Amino acid sequence: MTQPTDDQAPLAARDEMWLRIRSEAAHDAKREPALSSFLHTVILAHDRLEDSLSFILAGKLGSDTITPLTLRDLIRQAMAGDGLIGWAVREDLRAVLSRDPASRGYSVPLLYFKGFHALQSYRIAHYYWRTGRQALALWLQSQISAVFAVDIHPGARIGKGIMFDHATSIVIGETTVIDDDFSMLHEVTLGGTGKVGGDRHPKIGRGVMIGAGAKVLGNVKVGEGARIGAGSVVLEDVPPFTTVAGVPAKPVPDLPEPTHPALATLAIALD
């Protein structure tokens, strides 16, 4: 995605996704008057997607000690400090809309999907983690876990085009690396075995799909385009474009594999 320069037209006029989100919100506000004030406050009163998202996340994560107003400024500073966050936000929204049949527009995950909210909140925590403000990053991790029931260490590295469907009880460890175009459902753990330190968490390739309740433990590699069945426990490397299932997980024979299962709708996922 090309990053526009400051002397071009206003962002709201050139960001097609944001224009669509505003159109969806205006339509819903007209059809459902009870939501009109809410939709104006969280979407229609803002000029940019980043401003709307920072308002939403700050309202959910703010506390008596770090107020929503202070947190909103911190979120906006992170987005300004790393323009790739805004790019990832948009790619994540596209991922949800293309893969989740429950999403009827970009505004739905932006407003209501806690998997999306938790992921974008992690992106802010990760920014502060890698810029030397680990105490703030860990506070954000704690708030994300308490509010969304999603525990992502801010040191983890997660690509773009990501979808966490439902998301409750997701755990992602500190040295986890997740490539682009990844999907997983609720109650997934990408964790350590508890037996080693250092680089101790999974490395997930592009286009991987992980079903609900699966556990991937240790510094194992899950290859590009792999699929992990619901409830499986993965303790060894998974070859690219392979489906595994069971406890412990083993390859499923004679099963045709999509090129990148995470890019398909969840209707075909092993959940």
Please write the tens of the pLDDT for every residue from 146-185. Answer: 999 999 999 999 999 999 999 999 999 999 999 999 999 9
Domain at 11-149, CATH class:
mainly alpha
Residue 249 above 60 pLDDT?
yes
Write down the pLDDT at residue 7: 41
Report the pLDDT averaged over residues 30-48.
Answer: 97
| 250-251/243-245 β-pairing | antiparallel
CA-to-CA distance for 179 and 31, rounded, in angstroms?
40
Residue 254 pLDDT: 62
Give the per-residue pLDDT at 103: 85
For residue 251, what are the β-bridge partners?
Answer: 244
Name the residue among 51, 42, 48 with its Cα closest to residue 76. 51
Query: Cβ(182)–Cβ(206) under 8 Å?
Result: yes
Overall fold of domain 156-271: UDP N-Acetylglucosamine Acyltransferase; domain 1 (2.160.10)
Assigned token pair, 80 = 């300004």
Residue among 196, 191, 193, 188 at smallest CA distance from 174: 191
Cα-Cα end-to-end distance for the chain? 32
Q: Could you tell me the two tokens for 36?
A: 């009109």
Q: List C-alpha distances in Å: 32 to 21, 104, 111, 214.
A: 16, 16, 15, 39
Residues paired with residue 222 on neighbouring β-strands, in sequence order: 204, 238
pLDDT of residue 194: 82
pLDDT band at 255 (very low <50, low <70, confident <90, very high): low
Output the six-digit token pair for 99.
């893969």
Strand order in the sheet with 233-234: 150-152, 170-172, 189-191, 215-217, 233-234
Mean pLDDT in the chain? 91
* Residue in 87, 64, 61 with CA at minimum distance from that of residue 75: 61
> Where along the chain do its domains lie?
11-149, 156-271
Reduced to 3 states, what is the DSSP secondary structure of residue 164? strand
Close Cβ partners of 220 (under 8 Å, ≥ 6 residues apart): 202, 203, 234, 235, 236, 237, 238
**More reliable by pLDDT, 106 or 257:** 106
Q: Is the pLDDT reported for residue 30 higher than 80?
A: yes
Take residue 91 and report the two structure tokens written for it: 């790619």
- Six-digit token pair at 259? 């090129």
Residue type, 3: Q
DSSP helix/strand/coil, 173:
coil
Q: Does 156-271 match 11-149 at the fold level? A: no
What is the reported pLDDT for 101? 84
